[in-house]
Structures are given as C-alpha cells and as structure tokens.
Amino acid sequence: MNFLDLRHLLPLLIIGGGFAFVGTILYGSWMLGRYRGREDEMPGEIANLDARLQRLEYLISQTTGALDRLEAAHRLTARMMTETPNNASGRPLLRQTTPH
C-alpha cells in the first residue's frame, strides 16, 4: 500500500515553484524601484563630504601648529630650568655634610 505517489506531488511542485518564481521577480523589481534615484543624490553628498574634509584638514593643521608651539615652549622651559643655577644670590653653593 503506497499512499504517497510522487506523481501526485508534481502539480504541487510546479504550481508552488511558479508562485515562488513570480514572487521573487516581483520582490526584486520592488527592491530595484526602491533604490531608484539615489544615484542622483550622490553629487550633493559628495560636495558636502568635500567641504567636511576641507574643514577637517584645516582643523588638523591648526592642531598641528598648536602642538608645535607647545613643544617649542616645553623645550624652552626645560632648557631654562637646566641652564639656570639654583642659587639666585650668585654665591657658590657649599656642600653640606651631615654627621653620621
């Protein structure tokens, strides 16, 4: 007793496959229509991106200049601290000896 014959499933497979094929075509065309016209907006976004990149380059150059000035000030301060003697009165420092 063979209750399931593959010949009986053939119309279901053909009809189901046809619906799946038509559904896929309709969904694909809907997705393509959804994204239509977005390429036309790209030049405006690219121009905006160009302006943003110019502002970013300007800010980076300003920051680099500020860091260079800060580094020069640090070098000057370090040089002044190492070259000036600790004795402001001008007398030579005497070595202190502590008893042991």
DSSP 17-53: HHHHHHHHHHHHHHHHHHTTTTTTTHHHHHHHHHHHH
pLDDT of residue 1: 46
Q: By C-alpha distance, which of 65, 67, 86, 64 is closest to 75?
A: 67
pLDDT of residue 8: 80
59-89 residue pLDDT tens: 999 999 999 999 999 999 999 888 866 555 5
Task: Record the pTM.
Answer: 0.40
23-43 residue pLDDT tens: 999 999 998 888 776 666 666
CB-based contacts of 86, cutoff 8 Å, min separation 6: 93
Domain extents for the chain? 42-81
Q: Which comes out higher in pLDDT, residue 78 or 5?
A: 78
